[in-house]
């Protein structure tokens, strides 16, 4: 969540920055009012506590002096003030809960460097690689769901029979391809990132720490009996790995990576293209994540983009890198980039990676701090993460791009070490 102190000390600038994200100014004003009321209540409560303490001492003195009447009166006054203090404490708790709920819903302040804009149509394209429309032949203009069915490597019909709409199932070399993509992403980042296999069912506190709750509850799968949530991304457990901990600055940046299945309801996908693998409820993904100091964060953002981009480039796919404008930034995001691959069979640019810097927004929710090597006290870390590789859309773009005239699909060189000697996927 945002730092409430920024609203106290730099209200107009913070409000203006949030306005770039189309935050309702009334919410900002209400947060300031609640914060002011909470501080007033705290002051009144502290004053009452001081009076109660003074009366307690006076009661003791009166009784030592043998003045029972005065002691009884002072005791009655102390109980009355104690009741008032209790009411103030209850009101303060209610105001604090309202303030926290509001702050959990107010988005992160965007970076000054994030481009202006209202929707994804305003996102600037920074670069395009490996793309030339004329290089794609008619044999590559076949959608992946047709290629997958013809080769027997994508069985959407049985996936729907087993689990319902918007679930997918890979078979034979198609399953090998999905696994190979994940292993490639892990191997390419193993030089600097510690591999973690976290739980994929997490608590509400864990999901709240990254910003998915409370705002995006409808997009997540909730196991109500146990109050656990299926992770929408490995970002969720990895961010909370150091929750309520204090790290040493010497250990920063801390780099982590994880392969997990991911689960999303896609509640807002009505009217969108959901054919094939374009939008699914369950998918495999490799996530890369870092804790940094504020000074380390910009360079780490560049590193994560380069790593995600490098893997797509190694696969020989056409892709482009887009910077996300403030109007399209997510709830927790300070600055973000997307990588999109071109799928010639769908004739669409498909988002396959989002790389984001969250400043201290998530760390404040999760209470992740570090101890500076110089100076006193502690400070909040900055968190950053990105999709090293998300399987479905990369799988789709790959089988469309590498389809040959005879209907087979060539295995890209980067994936052949994981294919048990197979160089071409042919009809089964």
Confidence (pTM): 0.91
Residue 375's pLDDT band, with cuts at 50, 70 and 90, is confident
Which stretches of 80-133 are assigned E, i.e. beta strand? 125-129
Range(s) within the chain of domains with CATH label 3.30.930.10: 120-425
Task: Please give the average per-residue pLDDT across 139-151, as a whole number.
Answer: 98
Which are the catalytic amino acids?
264, 279, 351, 354, 393
Each residue of 303-351: pLDDT tens digit?
A: 999 999 999 999 999 999 999 999 999 999 999 999 999 999 999 999 9
pLDDT value at position 215?
85
Four-way CATH pick for 4-105: 1.20.1630.10, 1.20.810.10, 3.40.630.30, 1.10.287.40:
1.10.287.40
Task: Please give the average per-residue pLDDT across 103-132, as a whole number.
Answer: 96
- Distance in angstroms (rounded) separating the CA atoms of residues 376 and 225: 44
Closest CA to 288 of 329, 366, 240, 234: 234
Please report, for residues 39, 302, 307, 359, the alpha-carbon distance to residue 193 in angstroms, rounded to integers and kept in the order given. 43, 15, 11, 20
| Residue 156 or 270, more confident | 156
Range(s) within the chain of domains with CATH label 1.10.287.40: 4-105
CA dihedral 356, 325, 334, 279 (to 10 degrees): -40
Backbone angles phi, psi at 289, to 5 degrees: -145, 150
Residue 71's pLDDT band, with cuts at 50, 70 and 90, is confident
Each residue of 378-409: pLDDT tens digit?
A: 999 999 999 999 999 999 999 999 999 999 99
Q: Fold for 120-425, please state it.
A: BirA Bifunctional Protein; domain 2 (3.30.930)
DSSP state of 386: E
């Amino acid at each position: 969540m945002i730092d409430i102190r920024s609203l106290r000390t730099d209200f107009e600038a913070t409000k203006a920055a949030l306005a770039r994200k189309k935050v309702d100014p009334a919410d900002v004003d209400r947060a300031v009012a609640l914060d002011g009321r909470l501080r007033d209540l705290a002051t009144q409560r502290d004053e009452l506590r001081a009076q109660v303490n003074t009366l307690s001492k006076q009661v003791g003195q009166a009784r030592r002096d043998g003045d029972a009447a005065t002691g009884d009166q002072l005791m009655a006054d102390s109980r009355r003030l104690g009741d008032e203090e209790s009411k103030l404490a209850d009101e303060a708790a209610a105001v604090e809960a309202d303030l926290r709920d509001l702050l959990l819903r107010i988005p992160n302040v965007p970076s000054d460097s994030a481009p202006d804009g209202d929707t994804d149509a305003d996102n600037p394209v920074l670069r395009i690689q490996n793309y030339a429309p004329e290089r794609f032949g008619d044999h590559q203009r076949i959608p992946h769901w047709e290629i997958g069915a013809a080769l027997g490597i994508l069985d959407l019909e049985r996936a729907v029979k087993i689990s319902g709409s918007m679930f997918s199932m890979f078979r034979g070399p198609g399953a090998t391809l999905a696994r190979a993509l994940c292993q490639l992403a892990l191997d390419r980042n193993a030089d600097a990132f510690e591999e973690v296999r976290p739980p994929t069912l997490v608590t509400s506190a864990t999901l709240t720490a990254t910003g998915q709750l409370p705002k995006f509850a409808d997009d997540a799968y909730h196991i109500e009996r146990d109050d656990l949530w299926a992770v929408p991304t490995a970002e969720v457990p990895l961010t909370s790995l150091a929750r309520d901990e204090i790290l040493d600055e010497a250990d920063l940046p801390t780099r982590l990576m994880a392969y997990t299945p991911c689960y999303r309801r896609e509640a807002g996908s009505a009217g969108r293209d959901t054919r094939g693998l374009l939008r699914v409820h369950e998918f495999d993904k490799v996530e890369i994540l870092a804790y940094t100091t504020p000074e380390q964060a910009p360079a780490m953002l560049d590193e994560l983009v380069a790593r995600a981009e490098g893997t797509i480039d190694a696969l020989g796919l056409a892709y482009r890198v887009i910077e996300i404008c403030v109007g399209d930034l997510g709830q927790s995001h300070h600055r973000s980039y997307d990588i999109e691959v071109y799928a010639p069979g769908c004739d669409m640019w498909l988002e396959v990676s989002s790389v984001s810097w969250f400043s201290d927004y998530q760390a404040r929710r999760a209470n992740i701090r570090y101890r500076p090597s110089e100076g006193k006290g502690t400070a909040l870390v900055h968190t950053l993460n990105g999709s090293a590789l998300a399987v479905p859309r990369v799988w789709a773009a790959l089988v469309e791009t590498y389809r040959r005239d005879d209907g087979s699909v060539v295995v890209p060189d980067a994936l052949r070490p994981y294919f048990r000697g197979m160089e071409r996927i042919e009809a089964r």
